[in-house]
């Protein structure tokens, strides 16, 4: 089947064989049955319907909403009277295999929207789908006894859907609206061959082991509490130390590059958000309150505070570029259904910065930011790629500003020889941006940092500098975050490293294990000296066996374990177990401190 034609391609459009056979056009660009992106879209779209058919045969009252293809698979939202869980997936998979073996042809049926409304008159979920479809011709795909509204594309037969896996069950609000009913959602994936599916399943299993929510609890990094509220992380001592170290290293890196630390308030009058355009274009994502009969908005971004810093005094062209940075705490109204550990929260802290410069300085400053990005990504062993996001449908500002800003980003990337993709319409409402997408150890891509060029906010707030002709000129504002947010980045880093954090930010860099009470005094002395070198340690003095205390330290992914007995007290030394190097040896206290200081200084930003 590997040489079978699954569909055709016309420009960027995939034309399935059902559509091609109903057309008089000739399509020369064949999509073969393989693991190409186009073939997988067809296979996975069809597999979503295969899953729905299996569910319908097992649960007669099942009704279906939508079942799209997503980045690494597919899902279907549906209503069923029974509560479903992970344990039900095997039975659905078994039924899907039966349907594959039946080699059911997949038929495409053309009808009018009016006919479709009548055809699905007793199905309120299908009526919801039809509300979202323009008037005119619609299509139904049918296989065996199952049919559903769909625009395709689909494989010609269920025999092409052999290699699939259902991955999880979740809940999903109807149409993504948290005020409406909760439907059941099942996720799955599919490939054209067994080997690719097997590799994907292995990656999924490894991802479960690395899940930052699981490791966050095991390593005592953070927690959530319903009494506090959903999406509001609470940082525990281990997580607090990890985060603080990350902040300290970044602080130094910013200062070296000429950034000035500033801080804006977390609460600003709504009038300011109206001037900026956030009130009209981003208000649904913000929290508001009333103080002394005036409305205030809790900041979802840090840019307004930095604009006010710029406005605080008269600026000269000689002062530019001016670089302000802040670890800014922001709040955004996220729907409860999309909250996910540290990846999607309602309160987070951005490693935010804004650069005010002349239009001629855009390219050089974007290039400098790209260099900063590169050094940080290398420090954490991430590969990354860039994508330029252009003007969205909901935006502010003159078209000429958008064109200049977008071209400035393209010029900076082009001059550096950096390849980039284009995300049409994906920009912020006030300017185009470069999105930094990192790839982790499991080859998953994550969108983290961003670089945005903004001509609009300086115009709206009427900020200016005095140019060489002693006249007022408008600066350009570059918005920039490299990690994106500390929360999201730490979540990604936790999964990337499986909790084996780089030594320089590890929450606890060494656990000191005194064998007996006679060794406690030296353990405390050593911990104090290491603390003076900004190295965090813990002393394991519980009434447990030596082996158990060492095992507990290993479970916490601590880089170094320092065992202290009679010889070590006598010689002022330690018996070092290095988890990363997988070695054991003795060192004097001075040698240990020197080794640790070297490890702390291995990373340069």
> Do β-strands 560-564 and 537-539 pair in parallel, antiparallel, or remain unpaired?
unpaired
Q: 40: exposed, middle or buried (C-beta count within 10 Å: 0-12, 13-18, 19+)?
A: buried
Question: 417 preceded by cis ω (within 30°)?
Answer: no
Based on the residue annotation, tell me whether 350 is a catalytic residue of this protein. Answer: yes
Catalytic pick among 306, 433, 577, 589: 433
CA distance 332 to 484: 14
CB of 178 within 8 A of CB of 337? yes
Decide: 396 and 249 in contact? Cβ < 8 Å.
Answer: no
Distance CA(3)–CA(298), nearest Å, equals 58
8 A C-beta contact, residue 539 and residue 514:
yes
Strand order across the 294-298 sheet: 267-269, 294-298, 287-291
406: nearest Cα among 392, 385, 393: 392
Catalytic residue among 192, 303, 357, 448: 303
Catalytic residue among 18, 53, 143, 350: 350
314 CB neighbour count, 10 Å cutoff: 10
User: What are the DSSP calls for 579-604, one per residue?
Assistant: TTTTEEEEEEHHHHHHHHHHHHTS--
Catalytic residue among 165, 479, 480, 496: 479
- Catalytic residue check, 263: no
Tell me the angle at which helices 486-497 and 237-256 cross, rounded to the nearest 10 degrees.
110
Is 292 an annotated catalytic residue? no
Catalytic residue among 88, 352, 435, 536: 352
* Catalytic-labelled residue, pool 354, 488, 519, 557: 354
Per-residue tokens: 529: 């000296």
Instruction: Identify the residue whose tokens are 């240990």.
Output: 592
Six-digit token pair at 477?
Answer: 């504002």
Exactly one of 212, 299, 332, 346 is catalytic; which is it?
332
Nearest to 7 by CA among 22, 27, 23: 27
Catalytic-residue membership of 354: yes
* Strand boundaries in 392-475, DSSP class E: 420-423, 433-439, 445-454, 465-466, 472-473
| Residues marked as catalytic | 303, 332, 350, 352, 354, 433, 479
């Amino acid at each position: 089947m590997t040489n079978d034609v699954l569909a055709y391609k016309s420009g960027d459009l995939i034309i399935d064989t059902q559509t091609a056979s109903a057309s008089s056009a000739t399509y020369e660009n064949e999509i073969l049955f393989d693991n190409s992106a186009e073939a997988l879209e067809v296979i996975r779209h069809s597999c979503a319907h295969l899953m729905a058919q299996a569910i319908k045969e097992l649960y007669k009252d099942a009704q279906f909403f939508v079942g799209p293809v997503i980045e690494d698979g597919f899902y279907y939202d549906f209503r069923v009277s029974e509560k479903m869980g992970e344990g039900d997936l095997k039975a659905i998979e078994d039924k899907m295999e039966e349907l594959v073996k039946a080699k059911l042809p997949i038929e495409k049926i053309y009808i009018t929207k009016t006919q479709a409304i009548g055809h699905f008159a007793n199905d309120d979920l299908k009526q919801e789908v039809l509300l979202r479809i323009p008037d005119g011709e619609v299509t139904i795909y049918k296989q065996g006894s199952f049919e559903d509204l769909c625009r395709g594309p689909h494989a010609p037969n269920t025999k092409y859907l052999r290699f699939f896996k259902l991955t999880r069950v979740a809940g999903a609000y109807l149409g993504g609206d948290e005020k409406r009913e909760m439907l059941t959602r099942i996720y799955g994936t599919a490939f054209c061959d067994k080997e690719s599916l097997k590799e994907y399943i292995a990656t999924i299993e490894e991802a479960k082991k690395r899940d930052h929510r699981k490791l966050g609890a095991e390593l005592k990094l953070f927690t959530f509490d319903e009494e506090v509220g959903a999406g509001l992380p609470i940082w525990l001592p281990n997580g607090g130390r990890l985060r603080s170290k990350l902040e300290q290293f970044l602080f130094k890196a910013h200062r070296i590059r000429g950034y000035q630390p500033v801080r804006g308030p977390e609460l600003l009058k709504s009038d300011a958000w109206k001037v900026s355009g956030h009130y009209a274009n981003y208000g649904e994502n913000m929290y508001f309150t009333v103080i002394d009969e005036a409305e205030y908005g809790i900041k979802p971004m840090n840019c307004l505070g930095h604009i006010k810093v710029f406005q605080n005094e008269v600026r000269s062209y000689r002062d530019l570029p001016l670089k302000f940075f802040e670890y800014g705490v922001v709040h955004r109204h996220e729907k409860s259904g999309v909250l996910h550990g540290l990846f999607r929260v309602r309160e987070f802290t951005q490693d935010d910065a804004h650069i005010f410069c002349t239009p001629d300085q855009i390219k050089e400053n974007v290039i400098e930011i790209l260099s900063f990005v590169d050094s940080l990504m290398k420090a954490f062993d991430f590969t990354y790629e860039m994508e330029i996001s252009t003007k969205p449908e909901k935006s502010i500002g003159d078209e000429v500003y958008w064109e200049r800003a977008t071209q400035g980003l393209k010029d900076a990337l082009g001059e550096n020889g950096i390849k980039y993709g284009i995300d049409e319409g994906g920009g912020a409402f006030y300017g185009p941006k470069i999105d930094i997408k990192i790839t982790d150890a499991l080859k998953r891509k994550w969108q983290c940092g961003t670089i945005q060029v903004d001509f609009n906010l300086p115009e709206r707030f009427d900020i200016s500098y005095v140019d060489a002709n002693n006249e007022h000129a408008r600066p350009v504002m570059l918005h920039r975050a490299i990690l994106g947010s500390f929360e999201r980045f730490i979540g990604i880093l936790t999964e990337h490293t499986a909790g084996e954090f780089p030594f320089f930010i590890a929450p606890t860099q060494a656990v000191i294990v005194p064998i007996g009470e006679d060794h406690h005094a030296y353990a405390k002395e050593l911990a104090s000296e290491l603390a003076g070198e900004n190295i965090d340690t813990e002393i394991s003095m519980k009434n447990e066996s030596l082996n158990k205390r060492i095992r507990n330290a290993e479970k916490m992914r601590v880089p170094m374990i320092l065992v202290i007995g009679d010889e070590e007290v006598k010689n002022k030394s330690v018996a070092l177990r290095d988890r990363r190097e997988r070695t054991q040896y003795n060192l004097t206290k001075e040698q240990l401190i020197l080794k640790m200081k070297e490890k702390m200084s291995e990373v340069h930003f």
